[in-house]
Structure 1
Amino acid sequence: MALGTFAVGTDAFVVAGFLPEMAGELGVTEATAGYSVTVFAICYAVFSPLLATITATVPRRRLLVAALVVLGLANLGTAFAPNFALLMASRVLAALGAAAYTPNAGAVASSLVSAERRGRALALVVSGLTVATAIGVPLGNLASRFLGWRSALGLVAMLCLLIGAGLAILLPKLAGGNRVPLTERLAVLRNSGVRMILPVTVLGMAAAYTAYAYAIPAFDAAGISPDAAQWMLFLYGAGAVAGAQSSGRLTDKFGGTKVLIVGYAVMTCTLVAFGSLTLADVTLPILVGVLAFTWGASSWCQTPPQQHRLIAAAPDEAPLVIALNSSGIYIGIGVGTFVGGLAGAGNATWMFFSGAVIATIAGVFLAVPEVRRRTGARGEQFP
């Protein structure tokens, strides 16, 4: 299942590695090309709960394999798209495949382990997304430089189809659930704990992605040439893997809220430092490398504790709340990418500082209830 999320993550994030080349060939600005990430993210968010309802009774193995096949075909469509309009249409189809895959993979993983190991199981599945940022995006950047961005997307399509075939062979048979109307599924939003937790996902991912879709021009503004940017993408991805894996274990030990507060503090400091570098006339590649690592770690430390908190708040609705959290992740990515592109892809200072502001808001949103709990004030308590 983690290999499947690796395929999904590579598809979702690989555009960041060749955005300037894709924009140039399709005759659009980099900011406009970046909105292909926004469209993918928003469509994912909309489709996720709908598909959870429509496919509720489908056996899990069949559903996961079909989702990866759709994703692979959509990437072929993107690779052969003759213009930006058709490319955007293929990204909508890709969002369908991704929305059917990721929440179900997380739900299956959480059902296969005991409660005390749930954080680590979720972190393992999420690690596919983080490893995709560590390997998939930099390799996509490298492939686009030697083969072109269309060939890079063709390789992503092959990856999706190969992993789908592997799941068809190796994944055990798993029955689907009961069909539940969408209105009944969304009734979980009446749970005050769920309502307070989901906005954190949106804010946190929005903060992380104000600059990531525009990583190549953003690193360039911090003094890193496009040729060297792939190494910074590797460091970002290494930090993402470290952040996701460590946050799963730390969540099991300390609880999700504390892990998230520290993560948002690190993210705020990292983005402020990046923004400051874009204003200074200096080139500090070692510092940029360190910041790339902490950027990745603070971005991807969020998902395991958020999923853990949601399952604790609504244990009988685990598949649904994970699907809603996935929607929140991609709404956040869409919002962050949109905010980052508002001033144009060349304005890295805006991207980094606006991300820092959003990360601060997310941290405050978490910290206030935690302070109230510690001081004995009445109100909701969240794990």
Structure 2
Amino acid sequence: MSTASPAVHGLGDLSTKLAVFAMSIGAFGIGTGEFAIMGLLPNLAADMRITEPEAGHVISAYALGVVVGAPLFAIAFARAPRKPLMLWLMALFALGNFGSAMAPDYLSLIGLRFLAGLPHGAYFGIAALIAASMVDVGYRARAVGRVMLGLTIATLIGMPLATWLGQGLGWRPTFAGVGIVGALAFAMIFRFVPQVAASEGASPLRELGALKRPQVWLTLGIAAVGCGGMFSVFTYVVPLLTEVAHVPVVWVPLVLALFGVGMTLGNILGAAMADRALMPTIGGMLVFNVVSLAAIPWTAQFWATASLSVLLVGFTVAIGTALQTRLMDVAADGQTLAATLHHAAFNIGNALGALFGGMAIAAGFGWTSTGPVGAILAVGGLVLFGISLWLDRRTQRWEPLEAAPKAA
């Protein structure tokens, strides 16, 4: 499928805004579907007559789908035009959620959540490449950030709304509602996103070539290790607030909303910073992560400072768009695989943060220990970042590549 290469531009063009907004709606649906179930585990466990830890496997099944699906779709459909591929991914996500709403038993629900998770990483990777292809190089991070804004708004609005719906009507209508958002995103992508061909000469073997590049692995490592600290704290943030800061339970949702506010601000400001100075933004945000997370044992002692910490931990997501843009620069001809693996790496960070944070709590170090654990992970990310800089200087300064074939 051949497409013309139009002139690129900034984010002020109406057609670009509509296309990015359509992809952001898909991101909103995916983010809501991923996070909403966390607040509905007791409802799900009671309805399915299982324990809450067993209900938690539903979340694990979705995360496994993300990790498996990201490289699978990128390699298998390397030659596919990007808009049809995105439509298929969104259709699979919507069907997986409609199916989850109708799951007759626990095992089928596990399978359907795995199915719904498969398109997650690939969708974000393809959306990032399409968004970056529609603008000048100096606007790439901001275009990607606008798409990811749907994900951050999902934590601010979508997750509380879905949780409220689920607590009132049950978990099945929640999944059905997410499926409806997926169907809406499908229609908007079909209408507003332009046709974008795969890269000339694209093939599964060429995509796999990205894995031969040390800078790709280092960037993915920064996402998996350096960003794990956010998840270390957020996984256990409710008992941190109620048992350490003594925030009344009735106020916890309001404080948690600050996490979504922080993520939204981080997404917007981080994207703008990345367009101006990519590597300094990555390094600076890692340092910010270390400081904000290491301060948790002190800031968590009081309402006001604990609330501020929740907002600052959410702001650490600012590094995400910068890392996505970095992958576009270092992946050469394997950008689709690298872009999709970015979100798989974040899910690995989710697992690492929750695991090590839980180990520290179980060892008797208390709820505040999740902050220093997260800071240690961020230091690990800084080490990988330093190695990446060293390789850059050793080999030659890399030049930014075009993020993707231009949209038609």
How many Å separate the matches in 2 of 1:163 and 1:12? 16
Matched, 1:9 2:31: yes
Matched, 1:139 2:169: no
Secondary structure, counterpart of 2:268 in structure 1 = helix
Secondary structure, counterpart of 2:227 in structure 1 = helix
Code of the residue aligned with 1:308 in structure 2: it is T
Secondary structure, counterpart of 2:208 in structure 1 = helix
Distance 1:362 1:13, change over 3 A: same
Distance 1:324 1:220, change over 3 A: same
How many Å separate the matches in 1 of 2:147 and 2:285? 20
Measured after TM superposition, the shift of residue 308 of structure 1 is 1.7
1:38 and 1:337 in contact (8 A); partners too: no
Report the counterpart of residue 405 of structure 2 in structure 1.
Answer: none
Give the CA RMSD over aligned residues: 3.0
Measured after TM superposition, the shift of residue 104 of structure 1 is 1.0
How many Å separate the matches in 2 of 1:134 and 1:295? 14
Report the counterpart of residue 362 of structure 1 in structure 2.
Answer: 381
1:311 and 1:318 in contact (8 A); partners too: yes
Matched, 1:310 2:327: yes
Measured after TM superposition, the shift of residue 381 of structure 1 is 5.9
Matched, 1:287 2:305: yes
How many Å separate the matches in 1 of 2:304 and 2:152? 22
TM-score, scaled to structure 1: 0.85
Deviations 1:259-285 (A, max 9, x none): 22332333333334444566xxx5x33
Code of the residue aligned with 1:244 in structure 2: it is N
Report the counterpart of residue 406 of structure 2 in structure 1.
Answer: none
Measured after TM superposition, the shift of residue 250 of structure 1 is 0.8
Code of the residue aligned with 1:331 in structure 2: it is I
Distance 1:148 1:339, change over 3 A: farther
Paired residue for 1:120, among 131, 142, 160? 142
Distance 1:32 1:290, change over 3 A: farther
Higher mean C-alpha deviation, range 27-36 or range 115-124: 27-36
Report the counterpart of residue 203 of structure 1 in structure 2.
Answer: 225
Higher mean C-alpha deviation, range 197-206 or range 361-370: 361-370
2:216 and 2:330 in contact (8 A); partners too: yes
Q: Residues 231-242 of structure 1: matches in 2 within 5 Å? A: 231-242=254-265
Code of the residue aligned with 1:359 in structure 2: it is A
Report the counterpart of residue 347 of structure 2 in structure 1.
Answer: 330
How many Å separate the matches in 1 of 2:227 and 2:48? 28
Matched, 1:247 2:270: yes
1:138 and 1:231 in contact (8 A); partners too: no
Q: Residues 1-383 of structure 1: matches in 2 within 5 Å? A: 1-23=23-45, 25-26=47-48, 30-81=52-103, 83-177=105-199, 180-222=202-244, 223-255=246-278, 257-276=279-298, 284-298=302-316, 300-341=317-358, 348-367=367-386, 370=389, 378=394
Distance 1:12 1:48, change over 3 A: same
Distance 1:24 1:260, change over 3 A: farther
Distance 1:106 1:22, change over 3 A: same
1:13 and 1:213 in contact (8 A); partners too: no
Secondary structure, counterpart of 2:250 in structure 1 = coil
Higher mean C-alpha deviation, range 2-11 or range 353-362: 353-362
Code of the residue aligned with 1:235 in structure 2: it is L
Measured after TM superposition, the shift of residue 106 of structure 1 is 0.8
Measured after TM superposition, the shift of residue 83 of structure 1 is 4.6
Measured after TM superposition, the shift of residue 242 of structure 1 is 0.7
1:63 and 1:100 in contact (8 A); partners too: no
1:50 and 1:182 in contact (8 A); partners too: no
2:123 and 2:340 in contact (8 A); partners too: no
Distance 1:181 1:275, change over 3 A: farther
Secondary structure, counterpart of 1:40 in structure 2 = helix
Code of the residue aligned with 1:250 in structure 2: it is M
Deviations 1:87-124 (A, max 9, x none): 32122101123234221111111111121111111111
Deviations 1:8-48 (A, max 9, x none): 11112222333444445445555554443333223212221
1:199 and 1:328 in contact (8 A); partners too: yes
Code of the residue aligned with 1:160 in structure 2: it is G
How many Å separate the matches in 2 of 1:204 and 1:126? 19
1:37 and 1:337 in contact (8 A); partners too: no
Measured after TM superposition, the shift of residue 174 of structure 1 is 3.2
Distance 1:176 1:93, change over 3 A: same
The percent of aligned pairs where both chains have the same amino acid is 26
